[in-house]
Chains A and B, each alone.
Chain A
Amino acid sequence: MPSLKSLKTRITSVKSTQKITKAMKMVAAAKLRRAQEAAEAARPYSERMAAVMASLASRVTVGPESPRLLAGTGKDQVHLLVICSSERGLAGGFNSNIAKLARRTLEELLAQGKTVKLLFVGKKARAPFARTHKELIVGTVDMSHIKQVGFADAKAVADDVVARFEAGEFDVAHLFFSTFRSALNQEPTRLQIIPAALGSGSSGTDAAVEYEPGEDAILEDLLPRNLAVQVFRALLENAASEQGSRMTAMDNATRNAGDMINRLTITYNRTRQAAITKELIEIISGAEAL
């Protein structure tokens, strides 16, 4: 039976933890709103871009002369996994879910005898891979100084990926991030970015669209942009997912702390009562003995 004093310290300690988790939940909720607004504001651009890419793709036949970002290198031996995670922990299963999906892909690819390279955006998913596949990691992009993800940050990542591609470092690139469904539900997602997987375009109205310069030139210009947009969207989704996941996790933690305080308080009161009863019995039996 723990002493009364130790119970009391325990209750105070859990109470202060609860205060912290409650504050973190509130901060996450505020940040989530901002992240959602940012994702919302970015939607028109990425939607237009996707529509344009789709309608272009329906007009251009992929051949050996096509831009390499679209046609690929003709091999699929070396895969690059671009894994986006957060810079901070305490976000429930957010980072580990992304890492788990990435690990599954990694193991599948290795089992097929492919070469895999890992590029991390945000450090939190790096740790589990640094233990097991340190030699595969080609880089980590530090996002810790960025408060609100801007397009320039996404473009820097995309440019890095394109530069590695041009240098022949890999044949296929996948992007891993978490799609934001709701504050309670985030889904780890894998997206192939190189060679570009374009939706089969059938926008219907592109019967007599004029292209200036030609389709191929436009496509060549747009592919790297499209890549940057995809990375940007992934980062925004990730930012919203991270805050949503943290909010849910911290809400649970606050509730658990509340339960724990209740349990400890009951134990504390019982122990106190038992001590009083015991003392009374001692006094009464002492008095009876006289």
Chain B
Amino acid sequence: MAELLDFELVSPERRLARATVAMVVVPGSEGDFGVLPGHAPMMSTIRPGAIHIHETDGGPATMRFFVDGGFAEVTETGLTILAEKATPVAEIDVAAVASQLAAARTAGDDAAIARLEAMQAAATN
């Protein structure tokens, strides 16, 4: 068994998840990046998208969270994600997102469109 990574997902209101996992794929603002144990320390901002958490080495993504943007910090010991809002992907209401997206398109709210499109993509994949 390979080394594991300490993963923490924190929102301003409470700690949402804390686990020891094999790999996490983070939607960084300059492209997705995977974090494995022993990753070099780095900090990155996050764009709206899904975080994929692989609990076992080489296994499928077992937990997925949609984050509205935030901040990821990789230290020698693990990965901390500070997200203002995070929802488990399974809890995304696809129909509600679609109707909000339509509303945002008619209102021409670019930020909301990008956010909702990312949410839709996360839910359908």
Q: Does A150 contact B (CB under 8 A)?
A: yes
B75 touches A151 (CB 8 A): no
One digit per residue, 1 when the CB lies within 8 angstroms of any chain A CB and 0 when it does not, for chain B 50-80 equals 0000000000000000000001010110001
Q: Does A209 contact B (CB under 8 A)?
A: yes
Q: Which chain A residue has the least Cβ–Cβ distance from B28?
A: A212
Q: Which chain A residue has the least Cβ–Cβ distance from B44?
A: A212
Q: Which of B8, B10, B12, B45 contacts A213 (CB 8 A)?
A: B45
A218 touches B41 (CB 8 A): no
How far does the alpha carbon of A45 sit from the alpha carbon of B42 in the complex, in Å? 18
Knowing A45-B82, A48-B73, A49-B82 touch, does A210 contact B42 (C-beta < 8 A)?
Answer: yes
Interchain nearest-CB distance for B12 vs A (Å): 4
Count, chain B residues at interface, CB 8 A:
23
Interchain nearest-CB distance for B76 vs A (Å): 7
Interchain nearest-CB distance for A271 vs B (Å): 59
What class of interface size applies to chain A in its complex with B? Answer: 20 to 34
Q: Which of A38, A41, A229 contacts B15 (CB 8 A)?
A: A41
B10 touches A48 (CB 8 A): yes
How far does the alpha carbon of A56 sit from the alpha carbon of B42 in the complex, in Å? 12
A221 touches B40 (CB 8 A): no
How far does the alpha carbon of A38 sit from the alpha carbon of B73 in the complex, in Å? 24
Q: Which of B14, B28, B41 contacts A41 (CB 8 A)?
A: B14
Chain A contacts with B in 117-158, Cβ cutoff 8 A: 150-151, 154-155
Q: Which of B14, B30, B43, B76 contacts A52 (CB 8 A)?
A: B43
Q: Which of A45, A46, A218, A232 contacts B45 (CB 8 A)?
A: A218
A-B contact count (CB 8 A): 75
Q: Which chain B residue has the least Cβ–Cβ distance from A222?
A: B71
A210 touches B82 (CB 8 A): no
Interface centre among A38, A211, A212, A217 (most CB of B within 10 A): A212
Q: Does A206 contact B (CB under 8 A)?
A: yes
Contact partners of B15 in chain A: CB under 8 A: 41, 44-45
Interchain nearest-CB distance for A154 vs B (Å): 8
Contact partners of A174 in chain B: CB under 8 A: none
Interface centre among A41, A44, A206 (most CB of B within 10 A): A44
A151 touches B12 (CB 8 A): yes
Contact partners of A34 in chain B: CB under 8 A: none
One digit per residue, 1 when the CB lies within 8 angstroms of any chain A CB and 0 when it does not, for chain B 1-24 equals 000000010111111000000000
A210 touches B10 (CB 8 A): no
**Interface positions of B (Cβ within 8 A of A):** 8, 10-15, 28-30, 40-45, 71, 73, 75-76, 80, 82, 84
Q: Return 27 A-B CB contacts under 8 Å, by A number.
A: A38-B13, A41-B15, A45-B15, A49-B82, A52-B71, A151-B12, A154-B12, A205-B41, A205-B76, A206-B41, A208-B40, A208-B41, A209-B41, A209-B43, A210-B40, A210-B43, A211-B43, A212-B29, A212-B42, A212-B44, A213-B29, A213-B45, A217-B45, A218-B71, A222-B71, A228-B12, A232-B12
